[in-house]
Amino acid sequence: MTIRKIVFSLLIILSSSLSFAASNTSNVSDVKFKYKGDTLYGKFTVTNISNARIKGGICWRTYDKDGFQITHHPNSDISIAPNASKTVTDDTYKFKTVDDLNEIDHIKVFFNRYTCVSDAHIRSNIVKYPNSAITKE
């Protein structure tokens, strides 16, 4: 076998491995946010849609109206059995001021193997949650 064929075969194997690694293994649903004072509360359901246990965390990122990220908040150490769901109800983030909270245009929520570290390992759909849907108390 020539070196060219070996390299080509390795590239095919690598590309199929990468496409598998980037595939969704979970689904985020039932996303709800509310805020009271300067604290934002999140509630989410993560469903493992694979045949293997998944581990990672929810990441939510807040963006202003121009699309700039204001902050990100990781929630790590979620482990879910195959074809099971887990609801995260106690996720909070305290802003420095209420004005920071009022700057939010939308929030993106997703499940990721490495929480908020890298978009390269997103393992779920991305839910875009508008500020207008945030319950205010």
> Nearest 5°: phi and psi at 4?
-60, -45
Its pTM surpasses 0.75 = no
What integer pLDDT is reported at residue 47 of this predicted model? 92
What integer pLDDT is reported at residue 83 of this predicted model? 93
What integer pLDDT is reported at residue 22 of this predicted model? 39
Walk me through the domains of the chain, giving residue ranges and CATH numbers.
Answer: 24-136 (2.60.40.10)
For the chain of 137 residues, list the mean pLDDT of each consecutive stretch of 10: 53 38 74 86 90 87 86 81 89 77 84 73 76 82
